[in-house]
Amino acid sequence: MEKLSTRDRIIEAAYTLFSEKGYHGTSTREIARAASVSEVTLFRIFGTKESLFEEVLKTKSIIPDLVAMIRDVENHSLEDLLFSLAKKFYYTLVSKKKFIMITFSEVNQYSEKIIDIYQKLIDQIDELLVKIFSKYKSTNKDFNLKIIAMAFRGMIFNLFLTNEILLRKNITKSEITHILSSYVKIILNSINR
């Protein structure tokens, strides 16, 4: 158990509360109490509630994790590679669940700039998948690999969304593994046939 700095304790408390009750649903007094600091300290460090919010988003963003995931792809058979990617993607989402909840509840207020960042990240994931697919595919003509990539990404993200966020199901790790490996097989069937 590390001792967190005052600043970090406030960020952690704000992160959790914003993800649970949204930006407008959380008061600064509440954040301060959850962090065991006085509200004055919160304002001394962050100035305004909004800049605290920005610091939370900056500190807790999922984007570096996903960029790392793309970078760290290993060289296996196609099936192993897709399966390990699927797991990494799923568990990255799980570990960043609170961030994703904040993203969803604040999604309408995002600027062009933030939307563009997400756009590029999604494009990168799809491009990586297409690159992997095209290295291994047998003869296929009538299938657009980019659409298969979108489908793969979509299945996994939606599995996360349904189980972890909407229904809050306690699904076992082996069930997840089974579903993800089935998803990989669905994709493989579409690439090689």
CB of 41 to DNA, least distance (A): 3
Complete DSSP assignment for 96-143 = THHHHHHHHHTGGG--HHHHHHHHHHHHHHHHHHHHHHHHH--S--S-
CB of 117 to DNA, least distance (A): 25
Among 70, 101, 128, 130, binds its own copies (CB under 8 A): 101
Nearest Cα neighbor of 186 from 79, 112, 98 is: 79
CB of 30 to DNA, least distance (A): 7
By the rule CB under 8 A, 150 interacts with its own copies: yes
Q: How far is residue 18 from each of residues 32, 40, 53, 96, measured CA to CA in Å? A: 13, 19, 8, 13
Interface positions with DNA (CB under 7 A)? 5-7, 26-30, 36-41, 43-45, 47-50
For residues 130 and 60, the answer to whether their CB atoms sit within 8 Å is no
Among 4, 94, 167, 171, binds its own copies (CB under 8 A): 167
Helices (H) and strands (E) in the chain, counts: 10, 0
Which residues sit at the interface with its own copies, rule CB under 8 A?
19-25, 101, 104-109, 115, 118-119, 122, 142-144, 147-148, 150-151, 153-159, 161-162, 165-168, 178-179, 182-183, 185-187, 189-190, 193
